[in-house]
Amino acid sequence: MSAKYVAEPFRIKSVEPIRMTTRREREEKILAARNNVFGLKSEDVYVDLLTDSGTGAMSIDQWAGIMHGDEAYAGASSYLKLTSAAKDIFGYGYVQPVHQGRAAEQVLFPLFLCAGKYAISNMHFDTTRAHVEIAGGRAIDCVVPAAKEPSTRAPFKGNMDVPRLEKLIGELGAENVGLIIMTVTNNSAGGQPVSMQNMRDVSAVCKRYNIPMCIDAARYAENAFFVKRDEAGYADKSIKDIVSETFSYGDVFTMSSKKDGIVNMGGMFGVKDGDSPLVLKAKANCICFEGFYTYGGMSGRDMEALAVGLYEGIEEDFLRYRIGQMEYIGARLDEAGITYQSPVGGHGVFLDAKAMFPHIPYYEFPAQVLALELYKEAGIRCCDIGSYMMGNNPDTGEQIESEFEFARLAIPRRVYTQAHLDVVVEALIAIKERAHTIKRGYRITWEPPVLRHFQAHLEKIEE
């Protein structure tokens, strides 16, 4: 593939200065952060690819919406605007704003899960897994085997492995499976899309066994773009129609709106059947954890911005440019012989750290090694999506060996230019050239019991 960049369908009206540091400064900063990228100050980062979540640039219409925010505690017009946009796009009878995606999980999951119950997903995101466990359940990932071969380019590597799903249901007993979660796109597998056929097949399994299906819909618009581009029969459908069909297969959805909703804070959940008794229970949880149901933890102005962002996020020109950024990075990495989860994902490029450092074992965290090298090389911040992030088995306390060791370059929406992406690729080329000289990884010197990767302290193992 050629490294062709799709030009931005916008121009820039407001700028935010960033600063390049020296290598020596960065070595000091990362040591002070105990080799944890989450401990760095943003001002010490040049290109911040830690996440695409809440880091996007809002449009003039979204900023204008901020001024229209109705901050009434109950019945705000901003709430009505947001829920009417969400119902129009997703087609669910009940839609509830919450402050971010994990709040939706906290409110909804206890209604489906408790001790002894399982959630099966094409892959759980880390907070999703945590909320399954907090509700007392256990999380099982069931992605197609193709996802586990980063260098094999295949479409829809985010799909659920349907035969294995049925086998798991048989082994666990359908009555013990509280929820089947379809994460679109599949973040942990590399932002890989899920096909419409797979949504249809999983939904049929859910109906057959009477198990509710939840769509973890953080990146529904990017997923729809891939369906339109790569799945037979969808080329002439609008993104909005594809989104609507995707949601039609779920019973409930949880959503972090900080991704495809292009806002800095926000989330929601939905229940397809607005008359379901579930709605009353969910509202009660929402009022306890998030706030009254007409704001659910969001300010009126943020609901306004999200109502606009939901429509901007499904614009095809925007999505073509956005996925084009990922394809551009991918094509330049191909030229340099650097491997990644191929094809590129919808929100980022997931570098294959196992291939970069084949001699570093999972328990020395090769993807964390790559993330730290990138920071030291050029002030680029990205994160480990591998064994370091997976943490320890909650039952045995043993380090889990992740199927992947990815360093994720997550690309914020409408923020960085082609030249920024070139800085990233050139830093990676420099690291690849000296990768064989980096012989050992890191050990954890302190870790908290849950979601340890955000706070753990690490120390370089002497060579």
State the catalytic residues. Answer: 73, 125-126, 216, 218, 259, 453
Distance CA 59, CA 440 (A): 45
By CB atoms closer than 10 A (0-12, 13-18, 19+), residue 71 is: exposed
Near ligand F0G by CB under 6 A: residue from 81, 102, 332, 453: 102
Tokens matching residue 3: 């490294």
Comparing CB distances to ligand F0G, the nearer of 50 and 435 is 50
Contacts of 313 (CB under 8 A, 6+ apart): 221, 260, 261, 262
* 341 lies in the binding site for ligand F0G (CB under 6 A): no
DSSP per residue, 400-426: P--S--EEEEE--TT---HHHHHHHHH
Count of positions on this chain that bind ligand F0G (CB under 6 A): 16
Phi then psi dihedrals of residue 129, to 5 deg:
-60, -45
Near ligand F0G by CB under 6 A: residue from 112, 118, 125, 249: 125
* 128 lies in the binding site for ligand F0G (CB under 6 A): yes
* 453 lies in the binding site for ligand F0G (CB under 6 A): no
* Interacting residues with ligand F0G between 352 and 391 (CB under 6 A): none
Classify 136 as helix, strand or coil. coil
Residue type at 398 in one-letter notation: E
Give min distance, CB of 251 to ligand F0G, in A.
Answer: 17
Are 156 and 217 contacting, i.e. CB atoms less than 8 angstroms apart? no
Give min distance, CB of 75 to ligand F0G, in A.
Answer: 25
Tokens 């996020």, residue located:
313
Comparing CB distances to ligand F0G, the nearer of 92 and 406 is 406
Q: Which stretch binds ligand F0G (CB under 6 A): 97-105, 162-170, 362-370, 429-437?
A: 97-105
DSSP per residue, 195-240: -HHHHHHHHHHHHHHT--EEEE-TTHHHHHHHHHHHSTT-TTS-HH
Near ligand F0G by CB under 6 A: residue from 56, 101, 178, 366: 101
Give min distance, CB of 189 to ligand F0G, in A.
Answer: 10
The interface mask with ligand F0G, positions 184-223, x = CB under 6 A, is ---x----------------------------x-x-----
Closest-by-Cβ residue to ligand F0G is 101
Q: Which stretch binds ligand F0G (CB under 6 A): 111-119, 124-132, 227-235, 442-450?
A: 124-132
* 183 lies in the binding site for ligand F0G (CB under 6 A): yes
Near ligand F0G by CB under 6 A: residue from 35, 37, 40, 53: 53
Comparing CB distances to ligand F0G, the nearer of 132 and 438 is 132
Comparing CB distances to ligand F0G, the nearer of 187 and 332 is 187
Comparing CB distances to ligand F0G, the nearer of 258 and 332 is 258
Which H, E and C letters describe 144-207, residue by residue? CHHHHCCCCCCCCCCCECHHHHHHHHHHHCHHHEEEEEEECCECCCCCECCCHHHHHHHHHHHH
Helix (H) / strand (E) containing 133: helix 126-134
* 258 lies in the binding site for ligand F0G (CB under 6 A): yes
Helix (H) / strand (E) containing 271: strand 267-271
Give min distance, CB of 255 to ligand F0G, in A.
Answer: 8
Are 257 and 304 contacting, i.e. CB atoms less than 8 angstroms apart? no
Comparing CB distances to ligand F0G, the nearer of 267 and 330 is 267
* 264 lies in the binding site for ligand F0G (CB under 6 A): no
Near ligand F0G by CB under 6 A: residue from 59, 121, 256, 402: 256
* Interacting residues with ligand F0G between 418 and 447 (CB under 6 A): none
Alpha carbons within 13 A on the beta-carbon side of 275 = 0
* Distances 276 to 112, 207, 270, 281, 417 between C-alpha atoms, Å: 14, 17, 11, 10, 46
Comparing CB distances to ligand F0G, the nearer of 56 and 70 is 56
Strands 47-48 and 380-381: parallel
Residues of this chain that bind ligand F0G (CB under 6 A)? 51, 53, 100-102, 125, 127-128, 183, 187, 216, 218, 256, 258, 267, 410
